[in-house]
Chains A and B, each alone.
Chain A
Amino acid sequence: AQKVTQAQTEISVVEKEDVTLDCVYETRDTTYYLFWYKQPPSGELVFLIRRNSFDEQNEISGRYSWNFQKSTSSFNFTITASQVVDSAVYFCALSEARDNFNKFYFGSGTKLNVKP
């Protein structure tokens, strides 16, 4: 079974629109970690945020915000006032503390196209 589901394969928006990328995860662990990474066309995955399972506070960083809801097993990512430079593939990932190492379970990614 897929541990991380990103149902949106591709999203296109016009610059300055807000956009939300969905991430749903599945785990039996009580301690786990969720991540978002950005992969621009250059290929490098860039770390955006980490959230542990005990911290359900939403986080805002500039135009980026994250909504973590354990009740729905979701960790959604919103970009406010999108810009062309936000165009990339975004991956959500889960790491379970019971693993003997921090194996990342990646979602399949959401490709965001921001048009001028």
Chain B
Amino acid sequence: DAMVIQNPRYQVTQFGKPVTLSCSQTLNHNVMYWYQQKSSQAPKLLFHYYDKDFNNEADTPDNFQSRRPNTSFCFLDIRSPGLGDAAMYLCATSRGTSGSDEQFFGPGTRLTVL
């Protein structure tokens, strides 16, 4: 089945230790998104790629970076995780950037920072 896959599902890191979360998709969608979702809150968009064009949300901290080496894969790098970065990280894709394009979400990676 075509889908959005996130690995790992659970990630534990230490305060200040860089961590990378990965996302892959078999939908061949042009757009990939990274969201941060804290407990009992709505998902918060961090950035998105349209093809290779990177678009950062204005309030996304510099601590968060992303890479998209090809259509299928996208990575979220947290350079120096703080305790406040503990959250669920959701990857999503959409066919295009039309307002009507629904976003397809992966199962998320739950990040714990010790």
Chain B residues closer than 8 Å to A102, beta-carbon distance: 94, 96-101, 103
Q: Give the top 8 A-B pairs by smallest Cβ distance, nearest first.
A: A101-B97, A106-B42, A45-B105, A43-B108, A97-B99, A95-B99, A44-B107, A102-B99
Chain B residues within 8 Å of A, Cβ to Cβ:
31, 40-43, 45, 48, 50, 55, 88, 90, 92, 94, 96-108, 110
Can you give 29 contacting A-B residue pairs, CB < 8 Å?
A31-B99, A33-B100, A43-B107, A44-B105, A44-B106, A44-B107, A45-B43, A45-B103, A45-B105, A50-B100, A52-B100, A91-B42, A95-B100, A97-B98, A97-B99, A97-B100, A99-B99, A101-B31, A101-B55, A101-B97, A102-B94, A102-B99, A102-B100, A102-B103, A103-B45, A104-B43, A107-B42, A109-B40, A109-B41
Is B45 in contact with A104, judged by CB distance below 8 angstroms?
A: yes
CA distance A108 to B39 in the complex (A): 11
Interface size on A, residues (CB 8 A): 28
- Name A101's contact: one of B40, B41, B50, B105 (CB within 8 Å): B50
Q: Chain A residues in contact with chain B, CB under 8 A?
A: 31-33, 35, 37, 42-47, 50, 52, 91, 95-97, 99-104, 106-109, 111
In whole angstroms, how far apart are the Cα atoms of A44 and B105 in the complex?
A: 6
List the A residue with the shortest CB-CB distance to B106: A44
